[in-house]
Structure 1
Amino acid sequence: MTLGDQFISRLASKGCRGTKMAWRLILCSRSSNSWIYPPALLYSHSLPRSAASAREREGRDGLKVSGRSRHRRSACLIACRAKKRSGMVEDEQQAWEDGRPLRQVQQAALWAAEAAYILWLFLLPYAPGDPIWAIKSTTINDLVGLSLNFFFILPWMNAVGIHVLEAPVLHPAAEGLFNFVIGWTLLFAPVLYTDHRRDRYSGSLDVLWGFQMFLTNTFLIPYMAIRLNDMDVKHSYNKLSQLGSLMTKGSSIVGAIGGTVCVASALWTFFGRPDAAFGGIADRWDFLLRYVGSERLAYAFIWDICLYTMFQPWLIGDNLHNVKKSSVSIVSNLRFIPVLGLVAYTLCLEDDKSIS
Structure 2
Amino acid sequence: MTTVTPSPSLLCATHPFVPLKPFISNPSFSPHHQQFREARPVLAFTGRTTRSLQRKGFQGKPLKTLACKAARRKPTVSNTTTSSSSSAAASVPNGNVRRLIQFVLWLAEGIYIFWLFLLPYAPGDPVWAISLDTVNSLVGLSLNFFFILPFMNSVVGIHLIDAPVLHPVSEGLFNFVIGWTFMFAPLLFTDSKRDRYKGSLDVLWGFQMFLTNTFLIPYMAIRLNDADAEDASGKPSQLGSVMTNGAPVVGLIGGGICLISAFWALFGRMDGNFGTLTDRWEFLLSYLGSERLAYAFIWDICLYIIFQPWLIGENLQNVQKGKVGIVNYLRFVPVVGLVAYLLCLDLEEEYN
User: Could you tell me the TM-score, scaled by structure 2's length?
Assistant: 0.74
Q: Which amino acid aligns with 1:144?
A: V
| 1:147 equivalent in structure 2 | 142
Alpha-carbon separation, structure 2, partners of 1:155 and 1:218: 29
Alpha-carbon separation, structure 1, partners of 2:161 and 2:81: 65
| 2:245 equivalent in structure 1 | 249
| 2:346 equivalent in structure 1 | 350
Q: Which amino acid aligns with 1:141?
A: N
3-state SS in 2 of match to 1:162: coil
Aligned counterpart in structure 2 of residue 228 of structure 1, from 224, 231, 249: 224
Whether the aligned pair in 2 keeps the contact of 1:248 and 1:354 (CA below 8 Å) is no
Whether the aligned pair in 2 keeps the contact of 1:107 and 1:225 (CA below 8 Å) is yes
3-state SS in 2 of match to 1:127: coil
Matched, 1:188 2:184: yes
Alpha-carbon separation, structure 1, partners of 2:334 and 2:114: 26
Whether the aligned pair in 2 keeps the contact of 1:148 and 1:167 (CA below 8 Å) is yes
> How big is the shift at 1:354?
4.3
| 1:291 equivalent in structure 2 | 287
Aligned counterpart in structure 1 of residue 119 of structure 2, from 100, 118, 124: 124
> How big is the shift at 1:121?
0.1
RMSD: 1.9
Alpha-carbon separation, structure 2, partners of 1:308 and 1:132: 23
The 5-angstrom pairing of residues 266-281 of structure 1 reads 266-281=262-277
Whether the aligned pair in 2 keeps the contact of 1:128 and 1:294 (CA below 8 Å) is yes
Alpha-carbon separation, structure 2, partners of 1:146 and 1:173: 11
Q: Which amino acid aligns with 2:246?
A: G
Q: What are the superposed Cα offsets for residues 83-105 of structure 1, whole Å, 9 maximum, x if unpaired? A: xx998996898465652111000
| 1:337 equivalent in structure 2 | 333
> How big is the shift at 1:340?
0.3
Alignment coverage as a number of residue pairs: 272
| 2:199 equivalent in structure 1 | 203
Alpha-carbon separation, structure 2, partners of 1:132 and 1:200: 31
3-state SS in 2 of match to 1:275: helix
Whether the aligned pair in 2 keeps the contact of 1:176 and 1:268 (CA below 8 Å) is yes
Alpha-carbon separation, structure 2, partners of 1:237 and 1:207: 17
Alpha-carbon separation, structure 2, partners of 1:279 and 1:326: 47
| 2:40 equivalent in structure 1 | none
Q: Which amino acid aligns with 1:309?
A: I
> How big is the shift at 1:353?
3.0
Alpha-carbon separation, structure 1, partners of 2:345 and 2:190: 9
Alpha-carbon separation, structure 1, partners of 2:279 and 2:185: 35
Q: What are the superposed Cα offsets for residues 3-36 of structure 1, whole Å, 9 maximum, x if unpaired? A: xxxxxxxxxxxxxxxxxxxxxxxxxxxxxxxxxx
3-state SS in 1 of match to 2:289: helix
> How big is the shift at 1:164?
1.4
| 2:9 equivalent in structure 1 | none
Unaligned runs of 5+ in 2: 1-78
Alpha-carbon separation, structure 2, partners of 1:134 and 1:97: 47
Alpha-carbon separation, structure 1, partners of 2:339 and 2:85: 34
Aligned counterpart in structure 2 of residue 112 of structure 1, from 107, 110, 121: 107
Change over 3 Å in CA distance of 1:93–1:157 after alignment to 2: farther
Change over 3 Å in CA distance of 1:354–1:212 after alignment to 2: farther
User: Could you tell me the TM-score, scaled by structure 1's length?
Assistant: 0.74
3-state SS in 2 of match to 1:294: coil
| 2:296 equivalent in structure 1 | 300
Whether the aligned pair in 2 keeps the contact of 1:181 and 1:305 (CA below 8 Å) is yes
Change over 3 Å in CA distance of 1:200–1:168 after alignment to 2: same
Alpha-carbon separation, structure 2, partners of 1:308 and 1:265: 17
Alpha-carbon separation, structure 2, partners of 1:113 and 1:338: 21
Identity %: 65
3-state SS in 1 of match to 2:339: helix
Aligned counterpart in structure 2 of residue 237 of structure 1, from 233, 239, 255: 233
Alpha-carbon separation, structure 2, partners of 1:91 and 1:241: 41
3-state SS in 2 of match to 1:99: helix
Choose 1 or 2 for highest CA Rg: 2
Alpha-carbon separation, structure 1, partners of 2:138 and 2:318: 37
| 1:159 equivalent in structure 2 | 154
Alpha-carbon separation, structure 1, partners of 2:80 and 2:145: 52
Change over 3 Å in CA distance of 1:89–1:257 after alignment to 2: farther
Change over 3 Å in CA distance of 1:194–1:128 after alignment to 2: same
Structure 1 residue ranges (4+ consecutive) displaced by more than 6 angstroms after TM superposition: 85-93
3-state SS in 2 of match to 1:195: coil
Matched, 1:316 2:312: yes
Alpha-carbon separation, structure 2, partners of 1:90 and 1:214: 46
